[in-house]
Chain A
């Protein structure tokens, strides 16, 4: 190589390094046009003919989105045996409801997380109202109108939906139901107003969760007026969907059960938190008087009390040998943990017997249990960011997409062989720039252990990186339970 060429090469390499240091924000793949462009297909791949032949179809005519339905009135006509076509379009007259109302609970969208529920003030149907359709309408209308009042960190995609202002008169939706299925036909301007896979999915989550909030309803079939299905941007909805179909969690087994031996816990008390440790995570902690972790078990099941006063679609049952001082239902304005029902099989305050806690949950999320001492605690963690958890690794911090410095701490729970948690960080070119192993507080057990990793990245690393946490299988070294979190190094 001539001197000249070599000099050129040096400048060229310096330039290359300079380009590599340009900070760029990588648009997540889900938000690109290629992620949303491909052939239109059902989101779940399986074609299921949605038999929406409701024995009872109730056509709800809501005068306009701005006229809120009051309560059950003759304006809403129930008509048996007539299939999906509109039955009655009588605009309900505004009713001066002085009766105390059942507050309206709706769901708002969160980026990369299941939707989050909240009450919207000023809405509610009369406690005497028995019409499930009207309740569902009340929530959907409330969601539409209260676009501005949303929980921190959430958004309301319903505010983007373009409802047909003219077509078919002032009837933006019709609601029917049978058994646990509600059918909602929307009269929207084609396109719904949302763009891209992320927004479409988030809107679908909001709709499915809000519709199925109605006690007794577990599945929602969403259609567009005059069509057998609904197409939200590229998302084709052609079958009834439950919350579990859209929550974003996968591989959760309702039948999973955990039982641990131990002595009696004496007097018990509990505490809860939601979104505090990590977004989408609910934590339930039972503190026992005993020095030793008491005998306990955890199991889950579908559940529906049928009333809005005791909400939830699933429950997680935590049974502990010992006695909680308080009994009864405590409800929270939080999602996914809506309430805790406490029961004791013997007299309260005696410190003996078995206490059953039933955690009322919006949906079914993967759960993890760990125990702590001083004081003795049983910790049940439910959910977390779907992207940040696997069957054996959960990363609580940093959060998905967070900005971090070159020195940062990773914390979470793990249930891995010999408590060895493996990790690495890749730069935007997928090169491994840092890696290591850390120890969880407990290994090879049905219980999870806590871990903490101090990550130190080289000075040259910046921009988008990916944190990968996994278990290196003891059998063959393969990587299992891999969790990948995009992060931005600032």
Chain B
């Protein structure tokens, strides 16, 4: 049984942790939330959970938001995310995108990550996040549009500084 959990953990944990860092912008809180999600899954039992990845993401995201409300210390943590070795442009684009994601309302962040990072379908998102399936598309589009604007603003600002 432990082996099965180990396998699940090793497969799902890194992805979940990244998603939660992206959603919550606080690596420490994300780690706590990811661990919490696994403990809850463990308590619930593998056989009682359908679509474990989505389940973990939803539970983890909820934890992240709960923690974020308790301690408002976002901003400065985002800056601490390690820079990458890649070309400056690509890295800053990524950082822009991630920062832009953080500007979205909590719920939209989670849904965007569920759709594009986890690859969940509209129906799955509707199921897991408890929203009407008809509104998933609209919410996503709204969120992405906002991302695009924020990212564009960031790129322009950087261009202006050169």
> Which of A28-36, A337-345, A349-357 interfaces with chain B?
A28-36
A26 near B13: Cβ-Cβ < 8 Å: yes
Cα distance A33–B161 in the bound complex, in angstroms: 48
Q: Which residues of B contact A29 (CB under 8 A)?
A: 5-6, 9-10
Cα distance A24–B31 in the bound complex, in angstroms: 9
Count of interface residues, chain A, beta-carbon cutoff 8 Å: 35
Pick from B9, B13, B84, B112: contact of A21, CB below 8 A. B84
On whether A18 and B17 interact (CB within 8 A), knowing A11-B144, A38-B1, the answer reads no
On whether A32 and B86 interact (CB within 8 A), knowing A11-B147, A12-B112, A19-B113, the answer reads no
Cα distance A11–B101 in the bound complex, in angstroms: 11
- The answer, yes or no, to whether A205 is at the interface (CB within 8 Å) is no
Q: Which residues of A contact B95 (CB under 8 A)?
A: 18
User: Would you give the 0/1 interface string for B60-96, flagging 1 where the beta carbon is closer than 8 Å to chain A?
Assistant: 0000000000000000000001101110000001110
Q: Which residues of B contact A33 (CB under 8 A)?
A: 35, 38-39, 42
B31 near A22: Cβ-Cβ < 8 Å: no
On whether A464 and B39 interact (CB within 8 A), knowing A11-B148, A14-B97, the answer reads no
Can you name the residue of chain B whose Cβ is closest to the Cβ of A430?
B11
Pick from B15, B82, B94, B116: contact of A428, CB below 8 A. B15
Contacting residues of chain B (1-36) with chain A, CB-CB under 8 angstroms: 1-2, 5-6, 9-11, 13-15, 17-19, 21-22, 27, 31, 35
- The answer, yes or no, to whether A253 is at the interface (CB within 8 Å) is no
Contacting residues of chain A (1-44) with chain B, CB-CB under 8 angstroms: 4-5, 7-8, 11-27, 29, 32-35, 37-38
Cα distance A181–B95 in the bound complex, in angstroms: 61
- The answer, yes or no, to whether B115 is at the interface (CB within 8 Å) is yes
A34 near B38: Cβ-Cβ < 8 Å: yes
Give the shortest distance, in Å, between A215 (CB) and chain B (any CB).
37
A16 near B35: Cβ-Cβ < 8 Å: no
User: Would you give the 0/1 interface string for B140-153, flagging 1 where the beta carbon is closer than 8 Å to chain A?
Assistant: 11001101100100
Pick from A7, A15, A27, A430: contact of B97, CB below 8 A. A15
Pick from B2, B82, B98, B113: contact of A35, CB below 8 A. B2
B6 near A15: Cβ-Cβ < 8 Å: no
Can you name the residue of chain A whose Cβ is closest to the Cβ of B84?
A21
A429 near B101: Cβ-Cβ < 8 Å: no
Count of interface residues, chain B, beta-carbon cutoff 8 Å: 44
Cα distance A37–B15 in the bound complex, in angstroms: 23
Give the shortest distance, in Å, between B110 (CB) and chain A (any CB).
12
Q: Which residues of A contact B19 (CB under 8 A)?
A: 19
Cα distance A121–B6 in the bound complex, in angstroms: 42
- The answer, yes or no, to whether A200 is at the interface (CB within 8 Å) is no
Pick from A5, A14, A430: contact of B10, CB below 8 A. A430
On whether A26 and B14 interact (CB within 8 A), knowing A8-B141, A12-B116, the answer reads yes
Contacting residues of chain A (442-488) with chain B, CB-CB under 8 angstroms: 459, 462-464
Pick from A15, A32, A37: contact of B117, CB below 8 A. A15
A17 near B94: Cβ-Cβ < 8 Å: yes
Q: Which residues of A contact B42 (CB under 8 A)?
A: 33-34, 37
B35 near A32: Cβ-Cβ < 8 Å: yes
Q: Give the 9 A-B CB pairs with smallest separation, nearest first.
A: A428-B14, A12-B116, A18-B94, A34-B42, A8-B144, A24-B17, A19-B22, A18-B97, A16-B116
What are 16 pairs between A and B in contact, CB < 8 Å? A11-B97, A11-B144, A17-B94, A19-B18, A19-B113, A20-B18, A20-B117, A21-B84, A26-B17, A27-B13, A27-B31, A27-B35, A29-B5, A33-B42, A35-B5, A428-B14
A sample of 13 more A-B contacts (CB under 8 A), given A19-B117, A27-B35, A38-B1, is A11-B97, A19-B113, A20-B18, A20-B117, A22-B18, A22-B21, A25-B31, A32-B38, A33-B38, A34-B42, A37-B42, A429-B14, A459-B86
Binding site for B on A (CB under 8 A): 4-5, 7-8, 11-27, 29, 32-35, 37-38, 428-430, 459, 462-464
Binding site for A on B (CB under 8 A): 1-2, 5-6, 9-11, 13-15, 17-19, 21-22, 27, 31, 35, 38-39, 42, 81-82, 84-86, 93-95, 97-98, 101, 112-113, 115-117, 140-141, 144-145, 147-148, 151
